[in-house]
Structures are given as C-alpha cells and as structure tokens.
Chain A
Amino acid sequence: NAGVTQTPKFQVLKTGQSMTLQCAQDMNHNSMYWYRQDPGMGLRLIYYSASEGTTDKGEVPNGYNVSRLNKREFSLRLESAAPSQTSVYFCASRGSSGNTIYFGEGSWLTVV
C-alpha cells in the first residue's frame, strides 16, 4: 500500500540548475498538493491541483511550476534553482469524498 510516493528523496543542486520533483499517488485521489517545509514556518502551500487538468497557485508559487500529468501524478519543477528554495518538499493528496490529506515522505532539496 504505497500511498503517496515522491522522488527523489535527496537532491543537491547548484544555483541556476533545474530539476523536477515527481509525485504519484495510488489512492485514486482527485486533489494533489505541493508544500514546502522550512524551520519555524510550518508547511506552506506552493501549488495545488483540485482535479486532473487543473492547477492553482498556493501561498508561495514564485520560482516553481507544476504539471498534473494525469490523475495519479503531480510534478513540481524548479526552472532556475535559488538558495532560497533549499527546503523539504512534501507532496500530498486528498480524495473527493474525504477530508483527510495524505502526505508523502518528503524530498530534501539543497541549493548551493
């Protein structure tokens, strides 16, 4: 029972490099989310997708793009990484009839 799966788990990038964080869920959920976690700031919503084919900005979308590839997958792309994007990134999903959001195990990203 995989739930929400994120890759990679750890990544080090140089400033200006690009990368994509992958996320997939096997719970047939409609809504998917990307959060970042920083010390003392809790979790902040980057982007979310209420259903396949739709995406919306969250609280901190600058410097990121997302793609809802299909119902299962929701990827987060950093086009030109900056040190301020050093963080732990969490993907999450929620079913249409449920209220609970389920999280992946996180991706630790360091930009040097």
Chain B
Amino acid sequence: SAVISQKPSRDICQRGTSLTIQCQVDSQVTMMFWYRQQPGQSLTLIATANQGSEATYESGFVIDKFPISRPNLTFSTLTVSNMSPEDSSIYLCSVGPGSGGYTFGSGTRLTVV
C-alpha cells in the first residue's frame, strides 16, 4: 500500500492566521482526500483533491476556508485559513482504496489559540 508523509505533525497557531499542511505520497494517485477529526468525533471528509482540476468540497466546507492544491499526482496541500479556536482538530490526508485499504497520513494536530 501507499506510504504518505504528512507535515507538520502538529502546530499551535494564533487565531486569524493560516496554516498549510502538506502530504507527499510515494506513488502516483488519482485522488487524494482531506479529513478532519475533531476531539471525540469521527473522521469527516473535507474535500477530494484531483490533479489538474478544482477540489470537490463536502457539505459544510468551502474553498475560501480550506483551499487545496494538487500540483501533481504525488502531492497535495490543505490550507486552513483565518483560523479560529473551532478549527482546532486533527487534519489527515488519505489515498485509496488500495491493497491495504484506505491509507492515511500521520495527521496534523492543530491547536488555535
């Protein structure tokens, strides 16, 4: 199965600022996915990142708040913009399904103060 390198692993940010999270995959994949996992909650899909086209956002998530880039088939970024304490969460990228199911990055633990 694919191996994903995600960074940063954690960050503490001031409200009103933005953070960009990066995911690098060791193989070419058509779609990459970005999730949010709030404390005590299930994973929620934010958007699907397709190479060469605009990302597809799920209900409740908008491009202005969570802009996504997908410059090639192995890399994607998610930006959390104009952050507030409510954005404190774990953000994960994912690919799949593959032979190992859905593979997730190690996650970015974001705290907004």
Bind each other: no
Task: Give B residues with C-beta under 8 Å from A.
Answer: none
